[in-house]
A = this chain, B = another copy of it.
Amino acid sequence: MKASPRPYHHGSLREALLRAGERALESGGVPNLSLRELSRELGVSHTSPRRHFADKQALLDALALHGYERLGAALGRAAKDEGTFDVRLTKLGRAYVSFALKHPALLAMMSEAKHRLDAPRELLEASEKALAHTLAIFAAGQAKGAVVAGDPLRLALVAFAALQGLVALSTNGKFKGESLDDLIGEIVERLILGLRPRSAVRGRGAR
């Protein structure tokens, strides 16, 4: 179990803090994550985390970064360059929701951390990789003529908005008996239909 045979006092406090921190985060959100409580769990003094993370936010940022790396990897696997646009986008959506269901509190914190004014550059970079996968799917879809023309970034944002909302709903859990799996399918399907190329596109709606 122990990755390192205990090179130092504790061994690998930093990783242990990340593990325990994520556990605490998932069971009660950010306010439930206490540096002192983590220290107690790990059997170290209450200031030792400071050696690895300048403050609580630094630990959260590190957790968020790790989260984005895993999310990016999961989306990357799901969005592999195979199949039609519809299939790829559906798989991407399912992967996103799957991650959200497994790590709801982490994902919420990730989003918060990214939106902070002084968010670390690495975090922003990692979060953009997720969008990059979506972007690639759209570019490929346009090349095949499966998606309406236009700035792929803009279209990806449309899809991203829907996925984000999907996640918000899925974290909610139950929809009065609705099957989440079916709901994902329906949302992505509607999204795909709305993105199909058309001869004439109606006006932009009310102004």
User: Which residue numbers of A lie inside 8 Å of B, CB to CB?
Assistant: 29, 31, 83, 86-91, 94, 108, 111-112, 115, 153-154, 157-158, 160-166, 168-169, 171-172, 175-176, 178, 182-183, 185-196, 198, 201-202, 204-206
* Closest partner residue, chain B, to A163 (CB atom): B165
Question: How far, in whole Å, are A170 and B143 apart by their CA atoms in the complex?
Answer: 29
A115 and B172 contact, CB distance less than 8 A: yes
B154 and A186 contact, CB distance less than 8 A: yes
* Closest partner residue, chain B, to A168 (CB atom): B164
B190 and A87 contact, CB distance less than 8 A: no
Q: Write out the residue numbers on chain B whose beta carbons fall within 8 Å of the beta carbon of A86.
A: 202, 205-206
Within the complex, the shortest CB–CB distance from A172 to chain B, in Å, comes to 6
Question: Known contacts A153-B176, A163-B165, A171-B115: does B188 contact A205 (CB below 8 Å)?
Answer: yes
* Identical chains in the assembly: 2
Q: Write out the residue numbers on chain B whose beta carbons fall within 8 Å of the beta carbon of A205.
A: 86-87, 89-90, 185, 188-189, 192
Question: How far, in whole Å, are A115 and B87 apart by their CA atoms in the complex?
Answer: 31
Within the complex, the shortest CB–CB distance from A127 to chain B, in Å, comes to 11
Within the complex, the shortest CB–CB distance from A25 to chain B, in Å, comes to 14
Q: Write out the residue numbers on chain B whose beta carbons fall within 8 Å of the beta carbon of A182.
A: 204
Question: How far, in whole Å, are A204 and B185 apart by their CA atoms in the complex?
Answer: 6
B154 and A183 contact, CB distance less than 8 A: yes
Interchain CB contact (< 8 A) of A165 among B115, B166, B175, B185: B166
Q: Write out the residue numbers on chain B whose beta carbons fall within 8 Å of the beta carbon of A154.
A: 178, 183, 186
Within the complex, the shortest CB–CB distance from A104 to chain B, in Å, comes to 9
A194 and B190 contact, CB distance less than 8 A: yes
Q: Write out the residue numbers on chain B whose beta carbons fall within 8 Å of the beta carbon of A115.
A: 171-172
Question: Known contacts A90-B205, A115-B171, A163-B165: does B192 contact A193 (CB below 8 Å)?
Answer: no
Question: How far, in whole Å, are A4 and B19 apart by their CA atoms in the complex?
Answer: 53
Question: Would you list 22 pairs from A and B whose C-beta atoms are within 8 A, ordered by A residue?
Answer: A31-B31, A86-B205, A89-B205, A90-B205, A153-B178, A157-B169, A157-B175, A157-B178, A157-B183, A158-B186, A158-B190, A162-B165, A168-B168, A182-B204, A185-B205, A188-B205, A189-B201, A189-B205, A190-B191, A190-B194, A193-B194, A193-B198
